[in-house]
Amino acid sequence: MLELAGLSGGYRDARVVNDLDLRIRPGEVVGLLGRNGVGKTTLLKTVFGLCRLFSGEVRVDGRAVRPGRPELLARAGFSLMPDDRGVFPSLTVEQNLRLAARRDYDPPVDVRSVYPLLADRADQLAGTLSGGQKQQLGLARAMLAGSRLIAVDEFSQGLQPSVVDESLTALQALAASGVAVLVVEQGPEIPLRFCDRILVMVKGGIVLDASAADLRADPSRLTDLLVVG
Ligand SMILES: Nc1ncnc2c1ncn2[C@@H]1O[C@H](COP(=O)(O)OP(=O)(O)OP(=O)(O)O)[C@@H](O)[C@H]1O
């Protein structure tokens, strides 16, 4: 469904992502890991048309998406939750949720049960929420949007462990309904527990692409690539 072919991307004259190939299929839950600064955020932004594409292609259902047009991927049902969480700060929590919800979509999760805080703070302006609360609102918005793929940068940042677990269970329910999920994390714990497949980036390329089940049996293959050395 999403395919990256020879993708190189970055900023002005700085090529950060180098000749990267990747396929993500419907219903897959993929974890993208890597140390600080290896290019995880830049990869997401390049895919979503928010960084400079030097070469290569982003393909949806086999067709290349025209570069520099972020709205085309959004229209195709691909949601990026950036590290600022992409909420509308001057709207209330409830308005943010209503705006995100696709009318003809019946989500497999009830986001107001997953995130009770959002019901409690329905009338609060989203801009006044804490980072972790914005993260919950952003995730809820992505879950309501009827997306085919949800990509979340810095997934667990700012979330309490209990909220991480609730979010993961909800994202797994979405995946079971065919939504692809891509979560970016610094550490291996969450992807090992929750993902089907794990990718590790080093210096702008993917150096490991393996099933989480295999890596659970031999986590050193993963942890060695993440140790700061
Ligand atoms: N706006 C920018 N202009 C130029 N270079 C940038 C810009 N943003 C990031 N970079 C550089 O791109 C490289 C990759 O950064 P990126 O944020 O993609 O890494 P990351 O793996 O997501 O790390 P982190 O987890 O710390 O966000 C870094 O060397 C960074 O300095």
The predicted-structure confidence for 128-144, as pLDDT tens digits, reads as follows 999 999 999 999 999 99
Range name among 4-13, 78-87, 151-160, 176-185 with the lowest pLDDT average: 78-87
pLDDT for the residue numbered 65: 87
Q: pLDDT category, 66, cuts 50, 70, 90?
A: confident
pLDDT of residue 228: 61
- Of 1-5, 71-75, 98-102, 135-139, the range with the lowest mean pLDDT is 71-75
Distance 42 CA to ligand 1 centre (A): 6
162-199 residues labelled b (16+ CB within 10 A) or e (exposed): ebbebbbebbbebbeeebbbbbbbbebebbbebbbbbb
Mean pLDDT, range 124-130, rounded to an integer: 95
Residue-level pLDDT at 85: 75
Mean pLDDT of the chain: 91
Residues of the chain above pLDDT 70, percent: 99
Q: CATH code for 2-226?
A: 3.40.50.300
The H or E element spanning position 199 is strand 197-202
Mutation choice for ligand 1 from 7, 18, 42, CB with most ligand atoms inside 8 A = 42
Q: Which amino acid is at 70?
A: P
pLDDT confidence bin for 58, thresholds 50/70/90: very high
Average pLDDT over residues 46-63: 91
Q: Whose C-alpha lies nearest to ligand 1, atom 23?
A: 37
Number of Cβ within a 10 Å radius of residue 25: 13
Q: Is the confidence at residue 14, as pLDDT, over 80?
A: yes
CB 61 within 8 A of CB 24: no
- Res. 71: pLDDT tops 80: yes
Judged against a pLDDT cut of 60, whether residue 53 lies above it is answered with yes
- Report whether 17 contacts 9 (CB < 8 A): yes
The whole-model pTM stands at: 0.91
Is the minimum distance from the CB of 37 to ligand 1 under 6 angstroms?
Answer: yes
User: Which of 12, 13, 16 most suits a substitution to test ligand 1, by most atoms within 8 Å of the C-beta?
Assistant: 16
Going by C-alpha positions, the residue among 36, 58, 34 that lies closest to residue 45 is: 58
| pLDDT of amino acid 72 | 83
User: pLDDT confidence of 73, banded at 50, 70, 90?
Assistant: confident
Does residue 143's CB lie within 6 angstroms of at least one atom of ligand 1? no
* Residues 113-122 pLDDT 10s: 999 999 999 9
Rounded distance from Cα 11 to ligand 1 centre (Å): 9
